[in-house]
Structure 1
């Protein structure tokens, strides 16, 4: 059996962490769905920056909008929505077959809004309305301002992919915002047909930690954080508060493992996928990681609900001198700034292309 099919059958949804027009136009994404058990897709500013700046695939879409008075950001979101909605239509049969649990595609609000609650809410509502698909997630960062927006948007019935989470505490903050939004819907007599995922970034932990940790502790922290957060996820789903919402028809905010490509050449390219197989979760993989796991990946069981050896590993890393909480905060700030830089580069690339096309 294909390793990806085995992973899917073990209960983990496999999402592609990439989008570009050629994937759609060539039929490659459709083949990934049919042959590689891919059931969803995520995007981010860096992915779109590479897709648009690195090809001529979007030139016609830009050319057709010249002279329409769009700002560069408005032009980007119009183009991005073409890809997002086309991908969502490909995944719609999966979405319908799973009762709305799977088959999602994600589009992120502007990273420049990471500390702007009202701006995030307004843009998320616009993008949600423009996409007009039940299986499109709007991605909102789990920053302090973003968490307030997540509660408001959930209460408004908009499904959210919470991004830029790096720790158990970040995950629990995300879950709290989601549940508060659902509880407001209960109080208002509204249905609970609102979905969410909480995207926990993994490999960036090990890239940062390896700069200070001894060799025997390299490439252990990311998986430990994943296991610790999975325990918190399982515990929350067993809580009375969640069970009350579930009894009213609420769907869990599924834990999503993101940033699962191996950055250290000394470990297998499928390392994080094998280590973080878990029921009722999502793993969103870059294309190279997806193809690698389909070719030679191995499934060695699934995560234990009790977190396994996570606390023992994190205790050893703390003893070695690394402040895990401080690093989590640092990684979230760096992730926010990285997406912000990519978005600005993307807008600069679009401006340059539009000028060239107009000429």
Structure 2
């Protein structure tokens, strides 16, 4: 049995960490669904920047929208949602068959709002309104300012993919926000079923820490943090507080492994897929990693509910000089800043393309 199918049967969803118009047009995404057990996808500004920059698939759409008077963020949002609606429709059978647990796509609010609670809430409402798809998550970062926005969005019934989480503590903060949002809905007599996932970024830990660590500890920090976070996730699902909400009809905020492409060329190219197999979770994978895992991936057991050797590994890494709490904060801040850079590049790329296409259309 294909390794991707083994993960699916284990209870872990595989989502594609990519979207391009060509993936939709040439049937590649449908192929991944049929052959590699892909049941959802995620997007971010970097992904769309690369998609729009690599080729001319978006040129006609950019030109038409620019002629209609759209520009900047408004033009991009319309362009991205065209793709995401098509992807959402492709995954709709999965969404329906799994009772809305799986089959999701994601659209990010502007990274410029990472420190703007009210702006994030307004943007989430706007994206949900424009999307017209039940199986579309709005992505809000789990920054300190994002946490109250997540709670309010959940209370408003907006499905949320919490992004840019790097530590167990950051995960716990957004899990609490999700619980509070659901509890407020119940108190208000509203349906407690609102979809959400919490996305923990894994490989960036190792990119940042490997240079400070002895070789024996290389590529172990991200997995240890994931193990620790998975333990917290399992403890939450076993808690009386969650059981009460689940009995009322609430849906689990599933834990999602993000940034799972191997960055170290000396490490296995399927490292973070094999290591993070666990039921009731999601792994969102880059295309290159998906191809590798489908070709030669192997499972090496399942994550332990008790965190396995995470505490011992983290203690070794701390002893070697890595301030894990400080690094978690830095990774989140750096991640938010990187998305801002990608966002600005993306909007500039669209503006440049619109200008060139406008000039070409005027040529005799």
Q: Distance in 1 between matches of 2:34 and 2:67?
A: 40
Q: Distance in 2 between matches of 1:55 and 1:178?
A: 40
Name the structure 1 match of 2:149: 149
Query: Residue 2 in 1 paired to residue 41 in 2?
Result: no
Query: Residue 26 in 1 paired to residue 22 in 2?
Result: no
Name the structure 2 match of 1:67: 67
**For structure 1, which runs of at least 5 residues remain unmatched after alignment?**
none
How far residue 300 of structure 1 moved from its aligned partner, in angstroms, is: 1.3
**Partner SS for 2:68:** coil
8 Å Cα contact 2:71/2:351 also seen in 1: no
How far residue 23 of structure 1 moved from its aligned partner, in angstroms, is: 0.2
Given the two structures, how large is their TM-score scaled by the length of structure 1?
0.99
Deviation per residue, 1:141-195 (Å, 9 max, x gap): 0011111110000000000000000000011011011111001101100011201
Deviation per residue, 1:221-270 (Å, 9 max, x gap): 00000000000000000111111110100011000000001000111100
Aligned ranges 1:120-159 → 2 under 5 Å: 120-159=120-159
How far residue 66 of structure 1 moved from its aligned partner, in angstroms, is: 2.2
Name the structure 2 match of 1:283: 283
How far residue 213 of structure 1 moved from its aligned partner, in angstroms, is: 1.1
Q: Distance in 2 between matches of 1:193 and 1:134?
A: 12
Q: Distance in 1 between matches of 2:63 and 2:324?
A: 48
How far residue 290 of structure 1 moved from its aligned partner, in angstroms, is: 0.6
How far residue 209 of structure 1 moved from its aligned partner, in angstroms, is: 0.3
Q: Distance in 2 between matches of 1:351 and 1:30?
A: 31
Name the structure 2 match of 1:339: 339
Name the structure 2 match of 1:211: 211
How far residue 45 of structure 1 moved from its aligned partner, in angstroms, is: 0.6
Name the structure 2 match of 1:195: 195
How far residue 69 of structure 1 moved from its aligned partner, in angstroms, is: 2.4
**Partner SS for 2:304:** coil
Q: Distance in 1 between matches of 2:67 and 2:156?
A: 35
**Deviating runs (4+, > 4 A) in structure 1?**
none
Query: Residue 81 in 1 paired to residue 73 in 2?
Result: no
Name the structure 2 match of 1:358: 358
**For structure 2, which runs of at least 5 residues remain unmatched after alignment?**
360-364
Q: Distance in 1 between matches of 2:215 and 2:67?
A: 57
Query: Residue 296 in 1 paired to residue 296 in 2?
Result: yes
**Partner SS for 2:200:** strand
How far residue 309 of structure 1 moved from its aligned partner, in angstroms, is: 0.3
Query: Residue 38 in 1 paired to residue 38 in 2?
Result: yes
* Aligned positions, number: 359
Name the structure 2 match of 1:103: 103
| Two-structure CA RMSD over aligned residues (Å) | 0.6
Name the structure 1 match of 2:238: 238
**Partner SS for 2:47:** helix
How far residue 63 of structure 1 moved from its aligned partner, in angstroms, is: 1.3
Q: Distance in 2 between matches of 1:7 and 1:187?
A: 37
Given the two structures, how large is their TM-score scaled by the length of structure 2?
0.98
Aligned ranges 1:177-188 → 2 under 5 Å: 177-188=177-188
Q: Distance in 2 between matches of 1:77 and 1:94?
A: 25
Q: Distance in 1 between matches of 2:302 and 2:130?
A: 38
How far residue 68 of structure 1 moved from its aligned partner, in angstroms, is: 2.3
Q: Distance in 2 between matches of 1:195 and 1:333?
A: 26
